Structure 1
């Protein structure tokens, strides 16, 4: 029989007019309309047909509800140019589009062989779930569970009418095909995204906001200072009992927190409760992140409303981190009454302390980069660092670390180096490859947000770096500059292939699989990794 098509045609005219929204085509395709949905596009430039003789036409399909996309091109034949002089093309919508229900935005581009290109107006179309797909699970379940009964029914049908049997077999085969096709699509979707973690106790948090760059803050972060005693309460609450003996200033400089990058904007936020019966002026209390030397304040919240008691209120503040002169050596948090003469008595509670990148305070969530999670979107890479090197390393020398990797460097292979350690504020951890006859400066390591005292560098050694070296697998780390060197430590070191760092741990306990590329761990289905099971069996 002659092939049939459901054709939707649109004319796109490229003008100098500004586009503010996609062009609605008011067309719908149903998920069961397979091999028949055809989209025809007529290209015009300033009202005249566009000559497509020496062009590549690209159509980008974006699925609004699923947040995914793909491209079709005339260069690979998936877009057919039907009339080049009249600017007419057509495209058969591929079958995998029919697993989707909702709005599709189509982005249209034309690339000319002379290097020029045109960006055409975006238009939209709609996919609706057909009746048979809505009932597919129910029909398939009935078919599987009642197969034996169906076989007996088929025998009866054979006795009554061979024609009826033929029609029934056709229907069954059609259902089987749909079941197999749907299962295949589900299987493909299930392989899309993975995530790894050492804990799956993610809690009922809103992970749609910015990542938390602080570990869990507890009473242990406020053991020094004056004016109060501190203890942990339920559900992450930190309770301050103010005794009125001195100005409230509570901190602990030994609890080292992640560093903030110079020149970036951050926001600090927390929830605070002033309990009923508090005595004194509590209107000048604030939470800050400070750094040594000097106890410099970098981020500070606004102050609570003193008349609001026995209820949680949010305090927050935003600032660009700037420390061009006095460079930080370590970070910590402070709860302080900024009025030196103030003496407050009573109880104050604090919870959900967060530092995040940007100028907006988003809902609290735990820091997934640190214990117990140490989360990553890829499985662990092998650590290529020298296995015989003992850590920690403590040195006041210019050369802090020098050791052979377990294999030589490969030219044009990207490596990621992650170091956990400390140094003086003005110093940098500077990395060199190869040995004494051919040392090459690879670069200075940069701080890692969200992890305390951690530095990282991704680099790609070239043939020039490696030529002439008597030791092409040596990696060296200096504290730079030499003139101001001081005490430096390296607690751990990981060298791995690729440009994505993974934690310096021996195994992951859990892996998750999800349908979309998400940073929300609750979007994944979690299971125990085979490596963790094998390790427990060996133990």
Structure 2
């Protein structure tokens, strides 16, 4: 990758100092190549950047405001960098910026602010930028909220589907009641027809395999005894 790289040394101390006016200049069409490189020191030695979130705050000439994270390239030797986005490059003019270091133990350090500039190319002479406000933390929060809303909606749909499924499932007691009723009906039907000897359904001998048997009345036992 090829970059237009502006080097900015930042020393962390409590001495009163004038803002750093750099000679760094980018152009509105330095797409993906406008890089600010930082080296942090404290008391003359590199400031380690472990357990820290480094943010750069940029105020553009049209009052656009950006607050974004730096990329920590060498935590041991206090090195970090930031590449301006295409949207930021549209906000031409002088840019005021500062870096803030947020440590995980709750401490924070702010550096002295510095300036650099963005110039319009010839073909961008007629562009009119619109003021923008972008803060990494807010955008992350918004993305998190949107994700949470989506997850809640999905969970509600799953719960609704479970309730619909539950309504279609027969309960154990309900199924037993239906089984008992069917058994009682079958037993009543069987008892009713078992008590009938007049062949109510008109069943023929051939239907039950007795077509070879003659319809002869059997003698009573007393008749047999008389022989």
TM-score (norm 2): 0.55
What residue is the counterpart of 1:32 in the other structure? 29
Q: 1:97 to 1:190 in 2, by over 3 A?
A: closer
**Whole-angstrom CA distance in 2 between matches of 1:49 and 1:88:** 9
Q: Deviations over 1:66-117 (max 9, x none)?
A: 12311011xxxxx210000000001111111121221101111101111111
Q: Does structure 1 residue 106 correspond to structure 2 residue 97?
A: yes
TM-score (norm 1): 0.24
Which among 58, 68, 73 is matched to residue 82 of structure 1? 73
Which among 67, 70, 74 is matched to residue 66 of structure 2? 70
What residue is the counterpart of 1:17 in the other structure? 15
What residue is the counterpart of 1:129 in the other structure? 120
Q: How far off is 1:191 after superposition? A: 10
Contact 1:109–1:117 (CA under 8 A) maintained in structure 2 = yes
The DSSP-based 3-state class of the residue aligned with 1:32 is: coil
Contact 2:64–2:91 (CA under 8 A) maintained in structure 1 = no
Contact 1:22–1:105 (CA under 8 A) maintained in structure 2 = no
Question: Across the two proteins, how many residue pairs are aligned to each other?
Answer: 133
What residue is the counterpart of 2:198 in the other structure? none
Q: Does structure 1 residue 44 correspond to structure 2 residue 35?
A: no
Q: 1:72 to 1:15 in 2, by over 3 A?
A: same
Q: Whose strand proportion is higher, 1 or 2?
A: 1
The DSSP-based 3-state class of the residue aligned with 1:33 is: coil
User: For residues 410-489 of structure 1, what are the structure 2 equivalents within 5 Å?
Assistant: none
The DSSP-based 3-state class of the residue aligned with 2:49 is: coil
**Whole-angstrom CA distance in 1 between matches of 2:31 and 2:117:** 15
**Whole-angstrom CA distance in 2 between matches of 1:47 and 1:35:** 32
CA RMSD of superposed structures (Å): 2.1
**Whole-angstrom CA distance in 2 between matches of 1:62 and 1:51:** 27
Contact 1:34–1:95 (CA under 8 A) maintained in structure 2 = yes
Segments of 4+ moved more than 4 angstroms: none
What residue is the counterpart of 2:199 in the other structure? none
What residue is the counterpart of 2:217 in the other structure? none
**Whole-angstrom CA distance in 2 between matches of 1:129 and 1:24:** 20
Q: Deviations over 1:489-527 (max 9, x none)?
A: xxxxxxxxxxxxxxxxxxxxxxxxxxxxxxxxxxxxxxx
Contact 1:14–1:44 (CA under 8 A) maintained in structure 2 = yes
**Whole-angstrom CA distance in 2 between matches of 1:190 and 1:42:** 30
Q: How far off is 1:190 after superposition? A: 8.9
**Whole-angstrom CA distance in 2 between matches of 1:117 and 1:82:** 20
**Which structure has the greater CA radius of gyration?**
2
User: For residues 176-325 of structure 1, what are the structure 2 equivalents within 5 Å?
Assistant: 189=130
**Whole-angstrom CA distance in 2 between matches of 1:62 and 1:47:** 29
Contact 2:63–2:131 (CA under 8 A) maintained in structure 1 = no
Contact 2:73–2:80 (CA under 8 A) maintained in structure 1 = yes
**Whole-angstrom CA distance in 2 between matches of 1:24 and 1:91:** 18
**Whole-angstrom CA distance in 2 between matches of 1:98 and 1:7:** 14
**Whole-angstrom CA distance in 2 between matches of 1:46 and 1:119:** 15
Q: 1:4 to 1:190 in 2, by over 3 A?
A: closer
Q: Deviations over 1:442-474 (max 9, x none)?
A: xxxxxxxxxxxxxxxxxxxxxxxxxxxxxxxxx
**Whole-angstrom CA distance in 2 between matches of 1:93 and 1:191:** 14
The DSSP-based 3-state class of the residue aligned with 2:123 is: helix
Contact 2:51–2:103 (CA under 8 A) maintained in structure 1 = yes
What residue is the counterpart of 1:94 in the other structure? 85
Q: Whose helix proportion is higher, 1 or 2?
A: 2
Contact 2:64–2:132 (CA under 8 A) maintained in structure 1 = no
What residue is the counterpart of 1:5 in the other structure? 3
**Whole-angstrom CA distance in 2 between matches of 1:102 and 1:68:** 11
User: For residues 304-453 of structure 1, what are the structure 2 equivalents within 5 Å?
Assistant: none
